[in-house]
Amino acid sequence: MTRVEKADLRREAGQRTRDGLQTAALELLAQRGQEGVTLREITDRAGANVAAVSYHYGSLKALCEATIEHALERYLDAQLLEIGALGSTATLQEVAAAFARPMMRALAAGGQDLAVMRTVARVGIEPPQGWERLNGKFDQSRREVLRVLTPNLPGVDEQELIFRTRCAAGLLNWLALAPIGTELAALPAEQLERQLVPVVTGAFRGDTPTGH
């Protein structure tokens, strides 16, 4: 085996270890949040030794932050994809469906997808240090939502629309963590969408008459 091949194998092994540590951290963060996670639990679940965390991430805190940031990026990318696909003539209900779709898909899929959503929900309620690193992506998501909300709610100013969007996001965060989220996850995808989308639509509409 050549030196290059050995180096490639070491890199692959290192990447598997990093991926395993992040997967284990994600599962525990989704269950308990950052304050409830221990180094030993993560390494036991990942089948790695404690030194691997120091070697690949520097500390437990850095591993958790990297895992949270990755989860947030996955969620925001999925939401941007859904909202970005809407045209300027999208209805309020179509906007709400696109906004909630990453959450609905996570509930239906379970597993790591749901762990991502629950981690996002926890940090949405208690933002960690370093949140500002993703400000650009949050701003992009907000702009996309405003782009499709404004034509549906022409009498509502931008600050009010941003407030309603934050309320809708908070609603989804709560559902991901509350017992009702488990009940929703057991529903067929069509029924889940039928129950959830009108609620998110109402959050966007606020007290605007339904004629709008």
CA distance 7 to 13: 10
Return the closest-CA partner of residue 123 out of 23, 2, 13, 35.
35
Q: Are the CB atoms for 44 and 20 separated by under 8 Å?
A: no
Beta-carbon count within 10 A of 81 CB: 13
Beta-carbon count within 10 A of 3 CB: 7
Q: pLDDT tens for residues 75-115?
A: 889 999 999 999 989 999 999 999 999 999 988 888 888 89
CA-CA-CA-CA torsion sign (171, 174, 176, 181): negative
Q: What is the pTM of this model?
A: 0.82
Looking at residue 13, what is its pLDDT?
66
Looking at residue 211, what is its pLDDT?
46
E strands along 23-135, which residues? none
Least confident piece of the model among 40-49, 184-193, 202-211: 202-211
Looking at residue 208, what is its pLDDT?
53
53, pLDDT greater than 60:
yes
Beta-carbon count within 10 A of 105 CB: 16
What band does 129 get if pLDDT is binned at 50, 70 and 90? low
3-state SS of 43-58?
Answer: HHHHCCCHHHHHHHCC
Percent of the chain with pLDDT over 90: 36
Q: Are the CB atoms for 138 and 120 separated by under 8 Å?
A: no
Return the closest-CA partner of residue 119 out of 7, 37, 189.
37
Return the closest-CA partner of residue 72 out of 29, 107, 19, 42.
29
What band does 5 get if pLDDT is binned at 50, 70 and 90? low
Return the closest-CA partner of residue 212 out of 150, 157, 162.
150
End-to-end alpha carbon distance in the chain: 69
What band does 120 get if pLDDT is binned at 50, 70 and 90? confident
Q: Are the CB atoms for 204 and 96 separated by under 8 Å?
A: yes
Q: pLDDT tens for residues 144-173?
A: 999 999 999 998 999 999 999 999 999 998
What band does 31 get if pLDDT is binned at 50, 70 and 90? confident
Higher-pLDDT residue of 198 and 139 is: 198
